[in-house]
Amino acid sequence: MINTWQGTKILDNSRLKSLILASIARSMLIISLLLCLFIPLIMIAVVPILVLSWTPAQENWMPSGMTPAAKQAFRRTLRRSEKHKIAADHRIKGDIIYSEE
Protein backbone atom coordinates (compact mmCIF):
# COMPACT_ATOMS: atom_id res chain seq x y z
CA MET A 1 0.00 0.00 0.00
CA ILE A 2 2.92 2.29 0.62
CA ASN A 3 4.15 1.59 -2.90
CA THR A 4 0.80 2.35 -4.50
CA TRP A 5 0.55 5.62 -2.59
CA GLN A 6 4.08 6.56 -3.61
CA GLY A 7 3.35 5.67 -7.23
CA THR A 8 0.32 7.93 -7.40
CA LYS A 9 2.27 10.81 -5.87
CA ILE A 10 5.07 10.30 -8.40
CA LEU A 11 2.52 10.51 -11.20
CA ASP A 12 1.26 13.75 -9.63
CA ASN A 13 4.83 15.18 -9.80
CA SER A 14 5.45 15.08 -6.07
CA ARG A 15 8.55 12.89 -6.25
CA LEU A 16 10.82 14.07 -3.44
CA LYS A 17 8.09 14.45 -0.83
CA SER A 18 6.62 11.05 -1.64
CA LEU A 19 10.06 9.42 -1.54
CA ILE A 20 10.79 10.81 1.91
CA LEU A 21 7.36 10.05 3.37
CA ALA A 22 7.27 6.53 1.88
CA SER A 23 10.76 5.81 3.25
CA ILE A 24 9.68 6.96 6.70
CA ALA A 25 6.50 4.87 6.50
CA ARG A 26 8.44 1.76 5.40
CA SER A 27 10.98 2.16 8.19
CA MET A 28 8.22 2.64 10.79
CA LEU A 29 6.40 -0.43 9.48
CA ILE A 30 9.54 -2.59 9.57
CA ILE A 31 10.46 -1.45 13.07
CA SER A 32 6.94 -1.98 14.38
CA LEU A 33 6.72 -5.46 12.84
CA LEU A 34 10.05 -6.41 14.39
CA LEU A 35 8.97 -5.05 17.75
CA CYS A 36 5.74 -7.08 17.48
CA LEU A 37 7.84 -10.20 17.97
CA PHE A 38 8.74 -9.00 21.45
CA ILE A 39 5.79 -6.74 22.32
CA PRO A 40 2.63 -8.06 20.57
CA LEU A 41 0.56 -5.08 21.73
CA ILE A 42 2.25 -2.95 19.08
CA MET A 43 0.05 -4.71 16.52
CA ILE A 44 -2.86 -2.73 17.95
CA ALA A 45 -1.29 0.37 16.39
CA VAL A 46 -0.38 -1.28 13.06
CA VAL A 47 -3.64 -3.04 12.19
CA PRO A 48 -5.92 0.07 12.11
CA ILE A 49 -3.48 1.86 9.81
CA LEU A 50 -3.52 -1.08 7.42
CA VAL A 51 -7.31 -1.35 7.54
CA LEU A 52 -7.82 2.37 6.91
CA SER A 53 -5.42 2.46 3.97
CA TRP A 54 -6.76 -0.68 2.25
CA THR A 55 -9.79 0.93 0.58
CA PRO A 56 -8.00 3.98 -0.90
CA ALA A 57 -5.23 1.71 -2.15
CA GLN A 58 -7.67 -0.53 -4.01
CA GLU A 59 -10.03 2.15 -5.30
CA ASN A 60 -7.80 5.15 -6.03
CA TRP A 61 -4.07 4.57 -5.77
CA MET A 62 -3.71 1.31 -7.70
CA PRO A 63 -5.91 2.18 -10.73
CA SER A 64 -4.32 5.62 -11.09
CA GLY A 65 -0.96 4.03 -11.89
CA MET A 66 -2.29 1.69 -14.57
CA THR A 67 -2.24 2.11 -18.31
CA PRO A 68 -5.68 2.52 -19.94
CA ALA A 69 -5.64 -1.09 -21.16
CA ALA A 70 -4.72 -2.36 -17.69
CA LYS A 71 -7.49 -0.25 -16.13
CA GLN A 72 -9.99 -1.74 -18.56
CA ALA A 73 -8.83 -5.29 -17.78
CA PHE A 74 -8.95 -4.53 -14.04
CA ARG A 75 -12.52 -3.22 -14.25
CA ARG A 76 -13.53 -6.22 -16.36
CA THR A 77 -12.03 -8.58 -13.77
CA LEU A 78 -13.92 -6.87 -10.96
CA ARG A 79 -17.20 -7.10 -12.87
CA ARG A 80 -16.69 -10.76 -13.70
CA SER A 81 -15.66 -11.72 -10.20
CA GLU A 82 -18.93 -10.32 -8.84
CA LYS A 83 -20.87 -12.07 -11.60
CA HIS A 84 -19.17 -15.40 -10.86
CA LYS A 85 -19.76 -15.00 -7.12
CA ILE A 86 -23.48 -14.48 -7.65
CA ALA A 87 -23.63 -17.41 -10.06
CA ALA A 88 -21.81 -19.67 -7.59
CA ASP A 89 -24.17 -18.68 -4.78
CA HIS A 90 -27.27 -19.52 -6.85
CA ARG A 91 -25.97 -22.68 -8.49
CA ILE A 92 -27.52 -25.97 -7.49
CA LYS A 93 -24.84 -28.53 -6.72
CA GLY A 94 -24.74 -31.29 -9.29
CA ASP A 95 -25.91 -29.11 -12.21
CA ILE A 96 -23.69 -28.80 -15.26
CA ILE A 97 -21.99 -25.40 -15.54
CA TYR A 98 -22.15 -23.83 -18.98
CA SER A 99 -19.45 -21.22 -19.53
CA GLU A 100 -19.82 -18.21 -21.81
CA GLU A 101 -16.19 -18.40 -22.86
Q: Annotate 5-49 with DSSP letters as a single string.
A: HHHHHHHTT-HHHHHHHHHHHHHHHHHHHHHHTT-GGGHHHHHHH
Q: CB neighbours of 53 closer than 8 A, spacing ≥ 6?
A: 1, 5
Q: pLDDT tens for the chain, 101 residues: list them.
A: 888 888 888 888 888 999 999 999 999 989 988 998 898 888 888 888 888 888 888 787 878 778 888 888 888 887 777 777 777 677 666 666 665 55
Burial 3-26 (b: 16+ CB within 10 A, else e): ebbbbbbeeeeeeeebeeebeebe
Q: How much is the pLDDT for 99? A: 59
Q: How much is the pLDDT for 58? A: 78
Q: How much is the pLDDT for 53? A: 85
Q: Where are the domains of the chain?
A: 2-90
